[in-house]
A and B are shown apart, each in its own frame.
Chain A
């Protein structure tokens, strides 16, 4: 039985590109700092403190909104979302809302993915991150007290809310990859930093009650969580068990969703506009200025790769799927202009060495290869200095050692010996050594290959096989 599934997403992304927090001048990078050492009266909610909105946060949020096809309004406002929690210094969160005519930074957008599929973006909004709660004994329920660190409180977040358009967790994965790519290309968030992106999802089947899934700590886990939850709901439905509207947490150790302990669904947030931040007038030039200054989006880059560099759609897609790789490609091409060749080396050979699983830092970490190496390699091949198989061998080595290919070639004298004279000498030597083979070769053309092999052996593989074979066949016919 095929049951209709509806999935909507709420993606939170820290604006790690900002230097300071959303409403104060504290450092936005709280990772690795001593607890409660990155705070000020504003982000710790001291009496009498007032929020001071970060201008660049509005710019970055505006860029994301435009990249997702949203409308960016003339005026925006911040709202208070009122609820109590020990990680919330003011016991309200400054956020945005679509309410009585004033909207958030982006509304009504749309994003295409995998060609024909698209999802509608309900809104993009800015909000602040709370502090962190730490439990000494690992889980919250066995503690006598809770430990609180406010270093993260006030860090800027963007929330992207989609319509419940998804029907398949696999589509969600593809969509999230696309979002990651856009985020990286815009440079607003380093998605590899721990906790910098989170995704909550809501799932319902057959128009039944919606279940919200929280606590999914990476995009990769989202697909698993959704698959599990859909199965759970379908099973319940088949057995006529009521599916309750609730919040469930993803347990990534046991790989299941479980009921959340706090009653998060019965909140009345009593939203109202933040009186300390007047309505922000973005002005006529805000959007046009952003469009001119914002970094190239992955889709635009792909088009440019196909048009300007004449790459195939497929190759271009592989390159833009990861911003580091497409950046690597473009730097390489700037050094030596052979885009197809370089693209080929990256997509066919280099990709095999790259591990883009959940590691921190660059996908090239652990590898010593840089753009200049690939450029150099491409040049050596283009200029026929080395052959393709030699180049592949060299690539494997420079990944480990970081030597320049041309240096390597010079060192081990890996140049093809295409000096006919040198090859002729080698052929002479072989003809002397392999007299019986030479006689056979005159009647059996295949033996010429055996002789070629011997010449290659003698020259340690450096001879140009074409020239060598030519000399061999000439010599064979000569002696006839």
Chain B
């Protein structure tokens, strides 16, 4: 039996429908693969072997019986970041605080995947409560980069990107608050998409920073990501912030003269090998008759301080509910005075989470609201205004996804601010709400580099078209290492 683990979503659904192989055969191979290599990668927190096989058998039954209602993602194996709620399946946010939590409901994105007949393999590792850029802040230990296991996989959706690159699942869901899908996808040489804010329901996503984050797909190819978007995006009555949207993304780019703007500040701020790679990408676009030119953005210098102000402020409030009374870990309240109990429970947060809660409380405290939170929200308006005029001149903006190559464990962990600075390329999309995708652009020292493509709000199709064209012109770039 051929190795099925490398197949992308299209190939899987086609293969199963055509009877080339059964869903159960495919899922069994995936489970074997996980068992064989996840010890080295540490992408999975929970593997739902029984659930996955059960769903695979159900799909096989449906196909054998000639049923018509086979979902568009039938048989596709999915990993879910462990801050996205899955009914009946432990959801821990990589934190001691939620180590025993089993949600009684599915996130909307998960429910829609299930309805599309995707097969949920398990829950994936992340930085605790999605706060971090390397997955080093996980209670379960970090996720290793499949390209070189001494290096970080990126974060906070480290498990989501590494599992796809390591062929432990065909696609995965991550969440992106300041780059948490795109960073690990770039570091692992796979495709990751942060949709327009409001395109994908956040119902069931454990909140870190509500006004900035979105659930999004990671896959080996752009087509993977498109198929997932068509399944999960769209208006949800359970989330007031979702837009009137019915997703109909296609894989047939009709080449119209796409106008490309290269964000100078971001390219110049990256390591030399990365800048070189991005300039090459621009040359490639030019050779395909895209109109390319360098452009500038003034608001970039304020973007990180705006991002972290808002993210930490919202986080400090979102994480207040963790008092171990309605859910959490086993600690009896008998005998404790309530302030003591709350403090004792919450001392189990990791250091990065604690730092962000403290700073978040500070920026919201009496007298500081205008100076920090309100000012940061105004910077977002400024940024949106600037992007609006840029998108009159350009259809897409390109930049590096990350300003640096993947680095070794421990490299930045002692200096939180140094860690925050690596989000410089990605936070713009979260602050403004525009969509952004990362596609593999090459390697340096055998470490992956990602090209980031951004488009205007709700212009995913333009962005996807450019990504597809770039991908087919660079189809020699590897998406999974030999493991």
Query: Which of A's residues lie within 8 Å of B, judged by CB?
Result: 41, 44-53, 80, 82, 84, 86, 89-92, 100, 144-146, 148, 150, 268, 270-272, 275-278
Contact = CB atoms under 8 A, between A and B. Distances in A.
What are the 5 closest A-B residue pairs judged by CB atoms, nearest first? Answer: A91-B320, A270-B364, A275-B210, A275-B211, A47-B206
Contacts of B98: 47
Nearest to A100: B374
Contact of A46 (B103, B237, B323, B325): B103
Given A268-B366, A272-B313, A278-B240, A92 B320 contact: yes
Nearest to B370: A100
Contact of A146 (B204, B338, B370): B338
Contacts of B91: 47
B205 A48 contact: yes
A47 B203 contact: no
Given A47-B98, A50-B202, A90 B321 contact: yes
Interface in B37-94: 84-85, 91, 93
Interface stretch (B187-195, B327-335, B388-396): B327-335
Contact of A48 (B103, B373, B374): B103
Nearest to B346: A84
Interface in B415-458: none
Nearest to B336: A145
Given A48-B107, A272-B369, A89 B321 contact: yes
A50 B215 CA distance: 15
A41 B106 CA distance: 11
Given A47-B98, A89-B326, A270-B317, A144 B240 contact: no
Contact of B334 (A41, A144, A278): A144
A90 B321 CA distance: 4
Interface SS of chain B: loop
A145 B334 contact: yes
B240 A53 contact: yes
Contacts of B370: 100
B240 A46 contact: no
A58 to B, nearest CB: 13
Contact of A270 (B326, B338, B361): B361
A377 to B, nearest CB: 55
Interface residues of B, number: 47
Given A80-B317, A82-B364, A272-B364, A50 B326 contact: no
Given A52-B240, A272-B373, A276-B241, A47 B317 contact: no
B335 A144 contact: yes
Contacts of A144: 334-335
A275 B101 CA distance: 25
B385 interface: no
Interface string B231-255: 0000001111100000000000000
11 contacts: A45-B321, A47-B206, A48-B103, A50-B203, A84-B323, A91-B323, A100-B370, A144-B334, A270-B364, A272-B364, A276-B207
B117 to A, nearest CB: 23
A144 B337 CA distance: 9
Given A46-B326, A270-B364, A52 B238 contact: yes
A52 B320 CA distance: 20
Contacts of B321: 45, 47, 89-91
Given A53-B240, A145-B334, A275-B314, 17 more contacts: A41-B105, A45-B321, A47-B91, A47-B98, A47-B207, A48-B202, A50-B239, A84-B323, A86-B323, A86-B338, A144-B334, A270-B364, A272-B313, A272-B314, A275-B210, A278-B240, A278-B241
Contacts of A148: 325
Contact of A92 (B237, B317, B361): B317
A41 B104 contact: yes
A276 B207 CA distance: 10
B342 interface: yes
B432 to A, nearest CB: 15
B365 interface: yes
Contacts of A271: 364, 369
Interface in B356-376: 361, 364-366, 369-370, 373-374
